[in-house]
Amino acid sequence: MPKNSGKQQNPNPSPSLSLRERLDGNELDLSLSGLSEVPARELAALPKATNLDMSCNCIIMLPPEFCNLTHLIKLDLSKNQLQELPSDFGRLVNLQHLDLYNNKLTNLPVSFAQLKNLKWLDLKGNPLDPLLEKVAGDCLDEKQCKLSAANVLRYMKTIQSEQDREKQRRLQVERELEKRRESEMRAKEARERELRKREKMEEKERRRKEYDAQKLQRFNQPKEEKPIGTLEKPAFSSSPSSSQKGHLFHQVLLKVLLFLLLGTVITVVMCRRTDFPHEQLCSAVNHLYEDTLHALRGNEILQRILRSIPFP
């Protein structure tokens, strides 16, 4: 029996005819309507239309919004120009009957495996991939169409599992690569830190050696012999300070005074104890001695000091 037999044909439907007026119970017949685009939004407003017939039109593709029609149970898209189904076609989880006869499909989306309620499928008349065509088989009677649905679902689940495994494998490889990159980055950062640390230590050691060399040079510089004829004075023979000059002057003056005092004492002793008391020099010394004793006789301390001198 040819498809769409017994249906009321309406090859030139009125553009003003609304979809609601075409709804008959739970069936919406849009076949032979010259459709090139699917009115997905209008169909979404008719959740009662669980059986949708859009066969014998010029539909090339289904819009992504078509996958929102999750209320669909039976869908007839036979004798159109479909080249592929939306990637989210598997969202039509309530779909039980799907007719894709005589389109231009070569493959099915992986999400097709999610149509767990699918019981009837017709893929005849499509340029299918040879393996998919073999799995789908014929759909010449009810039994074959049910078997086609079961085989295709099983096949698509296998493909989905393989893709999931491949995706997991790629994710694992990416994670391993990311871990390796992180490990290499940490190792690189550690090497850079170690290099900076070594450079700092080398720089510190270099400055320490320079400091020790300069210190040793300053220590050894006074012992170095100057070339003959040089006019440069040693670093240690710089001009003495005023305090050093004063100290030297006091030392010299003290030595002179001590020398004069010693000479005076010796002269007085000789003039008093020898046979020269009447000599002119001794006479002057004796007179000076007597005058000094007379002048200092009132000073008891000086008297004691003078008495301690063993003069006759």
Is 198 domain-assigned? no
Q: Measure the CA–CA gap between 77 and 65, rounded to whole angstroms.
A: 16
State how many domains the chain has: 1
Is 272 domain-assigned? no
Pairing outcome for strands 27-29 and 97-99: unpaired
Kindly state the average pLDDT of the residues 147-169.
Answer: 93
Confidence of residue 212 (pLDDT cuts 50, 70, 90): confident
Kindly state the average pLDDT of the residues 15-37.
Answer: 85
pLDDT at 5 over 70: no
CA angle, residues 219, 223, 224, in degrees to nearest 5 = 105
For the ranges 53-57, 283-287, 305-309, which has the lowest average pLDDT? Answer: 305-309
Helix spans in 87-220 (H): 130-136, 142-220
Task: Please name the helix (run of DSSP H) or strand (run of DSSP E) that holds residue 51, with its range, or none.
Answer: strand 51-53
Q: In what order do the strands lie in the sheet with 23-24?
A: 23-24, 27-29, 51-53, 74-76, 97-99, 120-122
Residue numbers of the domain that contains 131 = 17-163
Mean pLDDT for the chain overall: 82
Is 53 domain-assigned? yes
- Of 129, 178, 131, the closest CA to residue 151 belongs to 131
Is 115 domain-assigned? yes
Query: What is the structure's pLDDT at 299?
Result: 64
215 against 188, higher pLDDT: 188
Query: What is the structure's pLDDT at 262?
Result: 77
By the 8 A CB rule, do 165 and 141 touch?
A: no
Strand-pairing partners, residue 121, are 98
pLDDT at 79 over 60: yes
For residue 12, CA distances in Å to 16, 33, 243 come to: 12, 6, 131
pLDDT at 114 over 90: yes
- Of 11, 2, 7, 59, the closest CA to residue 32 belongs to 11
115 against 221, higher pLDDT: 115
Is 142 domain-assigned? yes
pLDDT at 2 over 60: no
For the chain, the residue count is: 312
Query: What is the structure's pLDDT at 3?
Result: 44
- The CATH number linked to 107 is 3.80.10.10
By the 8 A CB rule, do 138 and 125 touch?
A: no
At which residue do the structure tokens 């992986």 appear?
Answer: 110
Query: What is the structure's pLDDT at 58?
Result: 96
Is 213 domain-assigned? no
- Amino acid 53 reads D
Q: 139-153: per-residue pLDDT in tens?
A: 999 999 999 999 999
- Of 128, 13, 30, the closest CA to residue 75 belongs to 30
Query: What is the structure's pLDDT at 141?
Result: 94
